[in-house]
Amino acid sequence: MAEENALENAPAQSIPERPKEAAQAGAQPAAEGEKGPSKAALKKAAKEKEKAEKAAKRKAEEEAKKKADEANDVSREDYGELPMLGSNDYLPSNVPRVRLAQIAEQYSETTPMDEAGGPEIKFRATVENARVQSAKLAFLVFKQSSETIQAVVAASETLSRQMVKFCGGIPTESTVLVTGIVKKPKEAIKSCTIGHLEVHIKKLYIESRAEVLPMQVADGERPLPAEGEEQPEEGGPIVTLNTRLTHRVIDLRGKHNRAIFRIKDGVVSLFQEYLRSQGFVGIQTPKLLGAPSEGGSNVFEVKYFNSKAYLAQSPQLYKQMLISAGYERVMEVCPIFRAENSNTARHLTEFTGLDLEMEFEEDYHEVVKVLEDLMLYIFNGLKTKYKKETELIRSVYNVEEFKLPEAGAVPRIPWTEGIQMLRDDGLEIGDYDDLSTPDEKRLGALVLKKYGTDFYVLDKFPLAIRPFYTMPAHDSPAHSKEPVADPNAGYSNSYDFFMRGQEILSGAQRIHNAEFLCKRMREHVTPVDPNSDGLRDYVNSFRYGCPPHAGGGIGLERIVMLYLGLPNIRLASLFPRDPGRLVP
């Protein structure tokens, strides 16, 4: 209390005066023993305050100018970003939309660009490229499927500079809705597939804005080197196969990729079209198996409730069972799973199989002839129906046109003749040795030189290198009634089809007698038990009478790769699976 009274009665000059600088800055009094802000700090604070005030003023002026520009923008209703489709009530526009392919056909002749008028169209497209030429002019390239067309945005009394700026700044790969006038350019536009026309834009709205791309579509359209070759240094950024597959959705937007998969679809369509004309019926066989089949190797094991299941290596056993069931001629397009740790340019762990099986009357070569005619039908169909796509891909991968035999006479070369051709070319190889990939390619080059074709059949393979269900040739020791030293010696009624020296089809006459099949299963190079869970029902299906039959399995991706001359089979698979890739 005494202390309080003492302070109240103390002279005024005994109270410390607040520093002038601190009072000006609005600072709190410094604690005893502490110094107040320095002059430099106070000066800096004042400058920052002044800078912030100027920035706020500038921003306000810009906002005001923007609002004024918007108010005076004659095109303000004709461009912008649309709300997400589905987020608002649906109101039909009742304006028909067109495809770019229709434009190319319908308007072969139209109004020149320097004259008024012309047909008005509306369409959705993807922006392949957008650039501002000047404050009054911008150019865009739109793409839709495999078609591209140039568009012009030019400022005028009815189209604002703001709209020009907006259109020229749209991110590549954005989806837009366009209304414009079809015009005839002064000169043909060589960079677009539709070169004799261009679109003069009246309205443009972004439906889906693209973010920054992890890779450019154009970079993914450059050719990849063949296996063992170096990537060329010139020609733009190097985008590796791994990068392309990691960003596959972007990569697939490339025009050449669209062409590849149109051709792939065409192969399936031609396969089914021809076989249906020959009396085949489409089937769908299981891909989940209760036990490994075909020897049990190279299969993927999966969990199936409280037990195990296996992904099918092929529909082989089921095809044969259906022949036994009286279906005579069957075909299937289906996924094939192979647990082979093969990291090559020609192998996948999941691919698409084109399979068929059929009865024959007297000799398995009846089936070989059907297969030859089938492949020729596919090749000729691709040549006529998919010429545009094929030429596009070959403009990227400069590969010679796939050569077919004259008059459809497919060379059918016995194994022994093929081996002799290789020996005459200097290769040391045994009578029954399996062919390596380099050996196959070497033989393919020799066949091309001798017969002038990239497509041929190799017949009568050694029995020891074929599956257990393959019918041995009539003079094979396997048919002997007496014990033999090697029941797997000799040849078989089996065949492979080749394109550019690589196998695309493997087939054979199958054993249709249950007892002989059991014998062959037990004495095969890799024996299997005919009474095992995965094979018992298959073997028993031949105990009830089954006609002689043969067939084959074709690798769809192999056909596409080799017909087009692609350097890697992964390019023929939408989302390829190999030992190192399970995504995307």
Of 577, 583, 570, 33, nearest to 264 by C-alpha is 570
* Strand boundaries in 270-424, DSSP class E: 281-282, 288-289, 301-304, 307-311, 329-337, 350-359, 412-414
**Do residues 186 and 141 touch, judged by C-beta distance below 8 A?**
no
DSSP state string for 499-568: ETTEEEEEEEEBP--HHHHHHHHHHSSS---TTSTTTHHHHHTTTT----EEEEEEEHHHHHHHHHT-S-
Report the candidate in 197, 39, 23, 18 with the shortest Cα–Cα distance to residue 105.
197
Indicate the residue type of 277: S
155 to 136, 139, 352, 357, 460: CA distances (angstroms) = 5, 12, 53, 66, 74
Q: How is residue 281 written in tokens? A: 């019926």
**How many distinct helices (H) and strands (E) make up the chain?**
17, 17
- Provide the whole-model pTM: 0.84
Check residue 14 and give its pLDDT.
44
Collapsed DSSP state (helix, strand, coil) of residue 315: coil
- Which residues have a catalytic role annotated? 338, 340, 346-347, 503, 506, 558
> Which tens digit of pLDDT belongs to each residue from 240-249?
999 999 999 9
Which of 43-52, 113-122, 469-478 is the least confident region? 113-122
Helices 255-277, 387-396: crossing angle, 10 deg rounding: 140
Query: Is 466 strand, coil or helix?
Result: coil
Pick from 261, 249, 190, 263: which is nearest to 220 by CA? 249
pLDDT of res. 111: 60
Amino acid at position 320, single letter = Q
Query: For the segment 390-411, what is each residue's pLDDT rounded down to a tens digit?
Result: 999 998 998 899 999 987 799 9
Q: Is the peptide bond before 548 cis (omega within 30 degrees of 0)?
A: no
* pLDDT score of 106: 87
Alpha-carbon distances, residue 281 vs 145, 199, 276, 511 (angstroms): 33, 48, 7, 22
Whether residue 367 has pLDDT greater than 70: yes
CA-CA-CA-CA torsion sign (384, 386, 392, 398): negative
Structure tokens at 498: 């080749």
Nearest-CA neighbor of 275 among 421, 368, 374, 346?
Answer: 374
- Cβ atoms within 10 Å, residue 210: 15
Banded pLDDT at 60 (limits 50, 70, 90): confident
The mean pLDDT value for 123-145 works out to 95
Q: Above 80 in pLDDT, residue 17?
A: no
Q: What is the pLDDT of residue 232?
A: 62
Q: What pLDDT was estimated at residue 25?
A: 45
| Mean pLDDT computed over every residue of the chain | 90
Q: Is the pLDDT of residue 156 over 90?
A: yes
Q: How confident is the model at residue 62, as a pLDDT?
A: 78
Question: When comparing pLDDT for 3 and 240, which is higher?
Answer: 240
Q: Which domains does the chain have, with CATH numbers?
A: 100-208 (2.40.50.140), 255-572 (3.30.930.10)
pLDDT of residue 29: 52
Contact predicate 163/192, CB 8 Å? no
Q: Which stretches of 173-296 are DSSP H helices?
A: 217-220, 241-246, 248-251, 255-277
Which residue type, as a one-letter code, is found at position 21?
E
Q: Above pLDDT 70, what percent of the chain? A: 89
Tokens of 354: 């084109």
Per residue in 496-545, pLDDT tens?
999 999 999 999 999 999 999 999 999 999 999 999 988 999 999 999 99
- Does residue 109 surpass a pLDDT of 50? yes
**C-beta of residue 374 within 8 angstroms of C-beta of residue 271:** yes
Q: How far apart are the first and last CA of the chain?
A: 82
Q: For residue 32, what pLDDT is reported?
A: 53
What is the rounded distance in angstroms from the CA atom of residue 209 to the CA atom of residue 126? Answer: 10
Cα 54 to the center of its chain, rounded Å: 54
| CA torsion angle 360 559 468 335 (round to 10) | -100
CA distances from 144 to 147, 207, 553 (A): 5, 15, 36
Q: How confident is the model at residue 13 (pLDDT cuts 50, 70, 90)?
A: very low
Distance CA 508, CA 365 (A): 9
Which of 147, 42, 46 has the alpha carbon at shortest distance from 103? 147
pLDDT in tens, 444-456: 999 999 999 999 9
* Alpha carbon separation from 502 to 19, 260, 445, 499, 577 (Å, rounded): 93, 19, 10, 5, 20
Q: Which amino acid is at 489?
A: A
In a 3-state reduction of DSSP, which class is residue 184?
strand
- Indicate whether 549 pLDDT > 60: yes
